[in-house]
Amino acid sequence: MTYVTPSHHITKYLITDAWHRGLNRINPKYEAKVVFIEVGKTPGSNHYVCSFKREDGKLYIMDYATAYHSMRGTHGPFNSLEEYKKYYENVHPKNKKTVAITFIDW
């Protein structure tokens, strides 16, 4: 069997997609979704994370597909995706300005 390694961008997406599907299987009330963070046009700079809600209705973000230790983990609670965006821009060691952040629904 031949295994072809997907690009870094696709790998991050597939990992995040698996998290969101797994969380929704565990508990559909988590309302887990994939979030796309557009950082810029540089290949590999854009990022995917997994969002979910807990009993408090707040937004939490799981990010384990990053090379940056300061960004790795589960972050929250946040009141909105915009609030997480501000956190991301504050804490990320390189990406201090994002172009857009959005939920990916399919």
What residue ranges do the domains of the chain occupy?
A: 8-104
Q: Which residues sit opposite 63 in a β-bridge?
A: 73
Look at residue 41 in the predicted model and tell me its pLDDT. Answer: 72
Look at residue 43 in the predicted model and tell me its pLDDT. Answer: 64
pTM equals: 0.81
Is there a contact between 77 and 60 (Cβ–Cβ < 8 Å)?
A: yes
φ, ψ dihedrals at 31, nearest 5°: 50, 45
Tokens of 74: 């589960």
For the chain, residues with pLDDT lower than 50 are 1-6
Q: Which residues sit opposite 76 in a β-bridge?
A: none
Look at residue 94 in the predicted model and tell me its pLDDT. Answer: 84
